[in-house]
Structure 1
Amino acid sequence: MLEVNAIDSFYGQSQVLFDMSLRVKEGEVVTLMGRNGMGKTTTIRSIMGLTPARKGSINFRNTDITAHSPYRIARMGIGLVPEGRMISPNLNVEENLVATAHGGPSGNGRWTLETIWTLFPKLQERRHSMGSQLSGGEQQMLAIARALMTNPELLLLDEATEGLAPLIRQEIWQCLFSLKKEGQSILVIDKNIRALADIADRHYIIEKGSIVWEGSSQTLLESEEVKHKYLGV
């Protein structure tokens, strides 16, 4: 579904990604892990066209999207849950959801307000509350729901549970597990190795802008050296 092939990405003259490569197959949940400042968010931004790659290629469903604008990439079926959530504080929950809603590439995607309320009952209770009135956990639920309302074929989550209370984190993980069971393809960035291992099919670890390790959940959990060397665990 997604193939990132040896891309280099920069902020001005500062190179952040070096021959960065990864792939996500249809129906897979894949993680991208690493310490802070190693290039995880830049990878997501490059996929979305927000920080265009200067070398290499990014292919989505056999289409080269390397030079596409962000809105075209989103319309092709990639939904982003950005770091920091970035919901609109002056819109209420329902307005945040419908503002960018789209039927997806097929035009008749399954995600509507009704299906979102089923996935996130708390959002239905707060549907008339302004974005600025929501807790951090509710804002993260809204950010995920907003991305789903574009009916993406691939969902990108940057720092899925950062700064959230343990109970809210568990709700987010349960949401992602439900999406996986429904066949949603997901690329997720987070630091919770145990939770990610329970959900994901494969894992990538990034160090200084390049992939240094790839493997299964079982292999990751059993490799104390990898966790200590690259994740600080």
Structure 2
Amino acid sequence: MLELDAIESFYGQSQIMFGLSLNIREGEVVTLMGRNGMGKTTTVRAITGLTPARRGVIRFKGENITALPSYRIARRGIALVPEGRLISPNLTVKENLVATRSDGPSGAPRWTLARVWTQFPRLLERRDSMGNQLSGGEQQMLAIARALMTNPELLLLDEATEGLAPLIRQEIWQILAELKSEGLSILVIDKNIQALSKLADRHYIIEKGRIVWEGGSEALMSQHEIKNRYLGI
């Protein structure tokens, strides 16, 4: 579904990513973990074309998308739930959702307003509220629903549950598990190793712009030295 091959990215003259490679197969949930400032968000920005890679290749469903502008990458079926949510504050919940609506690359949308209201009943209750009137948890639900309204084939979540109450976190993990059961490919950035180990198929750990470890959940949970060294646990 997605392949990053020896990606190098820069902010100005400062190099952030150094030959980073990872892949996501169709229907997989994959995590990207690491301490703050190690390149997780830059990886997402490279995938979505917001900070294009200067070297290396990014392929989505076999097509080279490395140099494409972000809007064309989105149209191919990649949706982002960004860090900080970036909800439009002067639009209502419903307006935030319909503003991004798309039939997706298949032309056969699975996500409609009706389905969003069913999956996210709190958003239905708040459909006429402005974006800046929502709680942090409600904004995160809206950010996920907004991404799903583009009917993506790959969903990227940057800091999926950061700063949220435990009950809201649990609800988000449940939603992601349901999306996985439907075959949606997902890349998750988060710090909750226990939840991620139950949800994800494979994990990558990034350190200073390089992948330093990859493996399955059972291997990750047994690697105490790796978790201490790179995740601060």
| Superposition TM-score, scaled by structure 2 size | 0.99
Structure 1: which 5+ runs fail to align?
Answer: none
- Provide Cα deviations, 1:143-200, integer angstroms capped at 9, x if missing partner: 0000000000000000000010111111111110111111110001000000000100
Q: Which residue of 2 aligns with 1:115?
A: 115
| TM-fit CA distance, 1:108 | 1.6
CA distance in 2, matches of 1:67, 1:17: 16
Identity among equivalent positions (%) equals 73
Q: 3-state DSSP class of the match of 2:110?
A: coil
Read off the aligned partner of 1:64 and give its amino acid letter: N
Give the Å deviation of 1:27.
Answer: 0.1
Report the equivalent of 2:140: 140
Match of 2:36 in 1: 36
Partner of 2:190: 190
Question: 1:101 matched to which residue of 2?
Answer: 101
The residue identity in structure 2 corresponding to 1:132 is N
The residue correspondences of 1:145-164 to structure 2 (distance < 5 A) are 145-164=145-164
Show CA shifts across 1:76-123 (max 9, x none): 000000000001000000000000100000112100001111111111
2:7 corresponds to which residue? Answer: 7
Corresponding residue for residue 87 of structure 2:
87
The count of corresponding residues between Structure 1 and Structure 2 is: 233
Distance, in Å, in 2 between the alignment partners of 1:15 and 1:156 is 23
The residue type equivalent to 1:70 in the other structure is S
Deviation per residue, 1:208-227 (Å, 9 max, x gap): 00000000001111111111
Whole-Å separation in 1 of the counterparts to 2:54 and 2:144: 29
Structure 2 gaps, min length 5: none
Counterparts of 1:6 and 1:127, CA distance in 2: 43
Structure 1 segments (4+ residues) deviating >4 Å: none
